[in-house]
Structure 1
């Protein structure tokens, strides 16, 4: 589960002798459809928004009691609603039960407290060197705190700064790491489009229309060019373009480098005109043709790498809309068909080497990726890719549209 925010902690009493599966079953069963599919606990777990429900209990004198912990990556309002739903459970099996919320622990707040206390210890015991810039030291420490200001914007839960709604100016960047680095240096009016992977999210298009000034702050490499292309193809209103130094990424720039890049931003029309002039030069045209030739060579190479037998393709075509998945062996023979919500637990119990490919009608999460990597899974195919902070090198990721052209 990525970016754990809260832990819901409850106690419970049951007027009878029950087991852990009975308690967990009661929670899932009596909260189902209370607030629609969006707040179905199994669905939230499949998407990595809720963690595994932990139950500790004991039975004495014919009665059962214990406590429950539910990790949450939802926002405060949604987490509070989940806590209230679980607290409403009235029966476990045939017995009356009472669930009481004890607290909702803010994991990030506790982490920040520890970071700050540790920073105080470091500063108290640090022998200062001649050239030590104490201002830079404090900036690095405060950067860890400012990371906690990161918010999620729009229905796609895009990484953003806390002033993305209120500030009249907007800085659009590529990814989450860029937002964190900009927050470190006080830039709070930011939103990330999470890579060039097709059409830019409609929420970003609408947000840009409401801002007086919109700046596309791009990496100094080909990826930056791709992001700008996606922004323009999606009709995002862009007023200015700023670039990181050649070969550098926004996420790795210092405060001075960010300030310099933004001070050197130029109007979009001027930037595009300048790009056309560069492309028109004979040397640049030759480089472009060379690059195109490389891409044409790489294209069939990629298709060979992801080649899937036709028999497996036919099985995969049946998956959309079923909320099911298929686990394949190394020869693309089906090992087992499972419900999406059971893929994590099923994979946990399988031996390394027994599964090579997973295709399912759900969202590819960080938790699933890490588990698949530990089980030596070669490829995962899902409906879409969720918020992935770190991609294991030994697992290939594709969407169903890549495979069957949805």
Structure 2
């Protein structure tokens, strides 16, 4: 579902039992002609300006509720207009229904946040491993100074400069 720049997230509640295809039909059918020629959802989907409508429904005791996700590669204004249009849908199949946009997610912003977080993790890994390697190199070089240079002085082990 990461196609596009934005994802319109919405909830749906219907007074009857509805199917996924009914919800999708209502989205395309009830917004048709409402937004003008430039924002016809069918045409926008054919040109990949909006993506696949993802619908998750739960039917319980003769009522339905669920979540809708609609990816958009349109600009912010057009995406917001489509989101507002979803809220005008009042019937799904034979049932009264309401849709409410809960969020318009900025996918690029979410990707940037992920990139920043991951870059921090990678940088810390580099810094931490580099510090250990630097210490190991320094310790190895220092070891040359004490290697095979021990002398006995007053029945004790001492360095080469002991007198």
TM-score, length of structure 2 as denominator length: 0.75
The question of whether the paired residues in 1 share the 8 Å contact of 2:2 and 2:71 is answered with: no
Q: 1:2: how far off?
A: 9.1
Q: 1:3: how far off?
A: 6.1
The question of whether the paired residues in 2 share the 8 Å contact of 1:2 and 1:48 is answered with: no
In structure 2, the partner of 1:103 is 103
In structure 1, what is the Cα distance between the partners aligned to 2:119 and 2:3? 22
Deviations 1:371-401 (A, max 9, x none): xxxxxxxxxxxxxxxxxxxxxxxxxxxxxxx
In structure 1, what is the Cα distance between the partners aligned to 2:2 and 2:64? 33
In structure 2, what is the Cα distance between the partners aligned to 1:94 and 1:110? 38
In structure 1, the partner of 2:32 is 32
Name which structure has the greater RCO, CA cutoff 8 Å, separation 6+: 2
Distance change in 2, residues 1:123/1:56 (3 Å): same
Distance change in 2, residues 1:2/1:13 (3 Å): closer
- Specify the SS of the correspondent of 2:12: strand
Gaps in structure 2 of 5+ consecutive residues? 135-163
The question of whether the paired residues in 2 share the 8 Å contact of 1:7 and 1:71 is answered with: yes
Q: 1:11: how far off?
A: 0.4
Deviations 1:312-367 (A, max 9, x none): xxxxxxxxxxxxxxxxxxxxxxxxxxxxxxxxxxxxxxxxxxxxxxxxxxxxxxxx
In structure 2, the partner of 1:56 is 56
In structure 1, the partner of 2:137 is none
In structure 2, the partner of 1:88 is 88
Deviations 1:177-205 (A, max 9, x none): xxxxxxxxxxxxxxxxxxxxxxxxxxxxx
How many residue pairs are counted as aligned between the two chains?
130
In structure 1, what is the Cα distance between the partners aligned to 2:106 and 2:45? 19
Residue 31 of structure 2 corresponds to residue 11 of structure 1: no
Q: 1:57: how far off?
A: 0.2
In structure 2, what is the Cα distance between the partners aligned to 1:62 and 1:2? 33
Equivalence map 1:257-268=2 (5 Å): none
In structure 1, what is the Cα distance between the partners aligned to 2:14 and 2:20? 12
In structure 2, what is the Cα distance between the partners aligned to 1:79 and 1:61? 34
Distance change in 2, residues 1:22/1:108 (3 Å): same
- Specify the SS of the correspondent of 1:33: coil
TM-score, length of structure 1 as denominator length: 0.31
Larger radius of gyration: 2
- Specify the SS of the correspondent of 1:113: helix
In structure 2, what is the Cα distance between the partners aligned to 1:61 and 1:120? 49
Q: 1:109: how far off?
A: 0.7
Q: 1:94: how far off?
A: 2.2
In structure 2, what is the Cα distance between the partners aligned to 1:74 and 1:105? 13
The question of whether the paired residues in 1 share the 8 Å contact of 2:8 and 2:70 is answered with: yes
In structure 2, the partner of 1:71 is 71
